[in-house]
Homo-oligomer: A and B are copies of this chain.
């Protein structure tokens, strides 16, 4: 059975030393923070997720979910653990007080969410998607939805889901067949089949709020192959009475639950909608309701709710990538210190024992340091971006504020794509440290790998993220975001120039950034005439962008750590460990940018020349 220990020291380092969140008490939410509260929250969360959620992870995988007589049963203990989290308020730390939350900064929720995902990704997903549904209703819902439904999601009395995929379409939403027919009373009736719905049904709560996209038919009642007709709806499992109690059963039922590679504790459902009562989000404006149904389709905000939910979900999936790398790396580290096998290449390190622990081997250390430097670098990136967004209101010029928004857009596909790729790679390396024991269920390592694998797929497969990065984000709005982001890295390198101990990393990062700029120019020059070239470069580009971004974070963290060491402040062992992992990233990860650039420059012709039938 694997163990989990929340990385409280690292969260404190990031919050207090790296981001210095306590310096921002002029911002709402941050004003309530002090060092003690941060400690209390982190330590309380750690205790809860370590002791209550983590022990259910392996048995939840073994038992899985079952469907009997139309009812989905979650693994033993999940329901109780879910409600304990809700009662502890762990899912509502950063929800505004008006909706029943604690109103603390989102950056604190990031720490708690990560703990949940490390401890038990399958269980965390029920709440994670609830959060996404909640957010879309909080921003775009009616008064009733905000006052009555959102608080039920905040309190954990109900959960939420996200319904996009259909059997024949995922990425290409304009192909969808789910139909939303407008009714006289302003509601809609939805019919169709949605698949791969995480937490799509379960036995944990009284009601489930499905957020669904569907097409509004044209005036002849037909569906068009047109993204403009796709809209966003709320479909409760049980209709909600005015007093907030669940009412009549709505027309949404579970067709089946999927047998899948991992996240088996989460019920992935096929949901059949049959004339289910649906509420458009945002609701039609009164004047629009008087128009012909076919004309509602061009509502520009038709998918706004979906994008809100989707971007939040993408950030959340990126976090799942490093959350699993963290817990897998922890277990591999324990095993590597424990497992005796052979002798160190430089002479016995455990001369009184029959053999040395395998952590004496450079290649075992390589795997552990890759996983750890990734997990800590990724955590820093995720939290830095969230914090940068939260503090942008204090920036002086509108230009600066815009740049932060654009950087967020730019980094979202990288966080989803690169962090889940490296999350899988790291989790897999941690499993490799166990040798044959990694392949056996009881150690839990192979489960981390199977669970981690979904993160590269859902909420837009990573190839789609790469294309989003290169095709949409990189050159958006005159490259405001891209240039601003590269400029931040330049500045960090320049600032590090004279600081003790940062030379290796800053040089390595400068080289990486020069490769990234060269790749950016190459794509700019070649993709204009031939869009296939952008597609061909996209994946290598995303990998390079992610590698440089984590280098950027490591340089920032090393600068903080080195300053503290120079000043004799902080925990020297912790700080030296930070610096060692930063140097690992500099020496063993950043050099990848050279080859990635070379590959990008060979272009896409080799990919496109064969006929599809020749593959």
Which A residues contact B (CB, under 8 angstroms)? 165, 168-172, 175, 195-196, 225, 258-262, 333, 336-337, 340-342, 345-346, 349, 354-355, 357, 359-369, 372, 432, 435-436, 438-442, 446, 449-450, 453-454, 456-458, 461-463, 466-467, 530-532, 534-536, 538-539, 573, 576-577, 580, 583-584, 587-588, 591-596, 598-599, 602-604, 606-610, 612-615
Contact = CB atoms under 8 A, between A and B. Distances in A.
B532 A261 contact: no
Contacts of A355: 172, 175
A463 B364 CA distance: 8
Given A342-B171, A442-B259, A609-B580, A363 B595 contact: no
A214 B360 CA distance: 27
Contacts of A357: 612
Given A340-B175, A366-B607, A584-B606, A346 B461 contact: no
A598 B594 contact: yes
A531 B345 contact: yes
Contact of A439 (B365, B454, B576): B454
A382 to B, nearest CB: 23
Given A172-B355, A449-B261, A612-B337, A535 B362 contact: yes
A614 B573 contact: yes
A374 B346 CA distance: 36
A591 B584 contact: no
A363 B538 contact: yes
Given A462-B432, A595-B594, A615 B336 contact: yes
A361 B535 contact: yes
A368 B463 CA distance: 13
Contacts of A583: 606
Contact of A591 (B195, B345, B602, B614): B602
Contacts of A342: 171-172
A608 B261 contact: no
A607 B367 CA distance: 10
Contact of A196 (B170, B436, B587): B436
A50 to B, nearest CB: 19
B457 A436 contact: yes
Given A362-B604, A362-B608, 9 more contacts: A175-B340, A258-B440, A260-B446, A336-B615, A365-B615, A369-B615, A432-B456, A439-B457, A594-B595
B535 A260 contact: no
Given A357-B612, A457-B432, A260 B172 contact: no
Contacts of A195: 436
A22 B594 CA distance: 45
Given A170-B436, A368-B615, A435-B170, A363 B466 contact: yes
Given A340-B175, A441-B261, A594-B595, A359 B606 contact: no
A450 B261 contact: yes
Given A261-B441, A446-B260, A615-B333, A170 B345 contact: no
A340 to B, nearest CB: 7
Copy number in the complex reads 2
A453 B349 CA distance: 31
A183 to B, nearest CB: 28
Of A225, A337, A341, A360, most buried by chain B (CB within 10 Å of CB) is: A341
Among A355, A454, A607, the most chain B Cβ lie within 10 Å of the Cβ of A607
A531 B610 contact: no
Contacts of A613: 337
B580 A463 contact: no
Contact of A354 (B175, B432, B441, B609): B175
A592 to B, nearest CB: 5
Given A346-B530, A587-B599, A606-B587, A446 B336 contact: no
A375 to B, nearest CB: 13
Contacts of A598: 591, 594
A346 B531 contact: yes
A441 B260 CA distance: 5
Contacts of A615: 333, 336-337, 359, 365, 368-369, 372
Kindly name the residue among A538, A573, A606, A612 whose own CB sees the greatest number of chain B CB atoms within 10 A.
A606
Nearest to A583: B606
A3 to B, nearest CB: 15
A91 to B, nearest CB: 26
A359 B608 CA distance: 10
A444 to B, nearest CB: 11
A436 B580 contact: no
Contacts of A260: 439-441, 446
Given A355-B175, A594-B595, A608 B365 contact: yes
A329 to B, nearest CB: 9
Q: Which 3 A/B pairs are nearest by Cβ-Cβ distance?
A: A362-B535, A587-B602, A261-B446
Nearest to A171: B341
Contacts of A535: 345, 361-363
A519 B336 CA distance: 28
A66 to B, nearest CB: 15
A258 B435 CA distance: 15
B457 A453 contact: no
A169 B615 CA distance: 45
Given A175-B340, A432-B456, A591-B602, A463 B363 contact: yes
A449 B466 CA distance: 23
A359 B612 contact: yes
B614 A577 contact: yes
Contacts of A614: 573, 576-577, 580
10 contacts: A172-B355, A259-B440, A337-B613, A346-B531, A362-B535, A362-B604, A363-B466, A363-B539, A367-B463, A446-B453
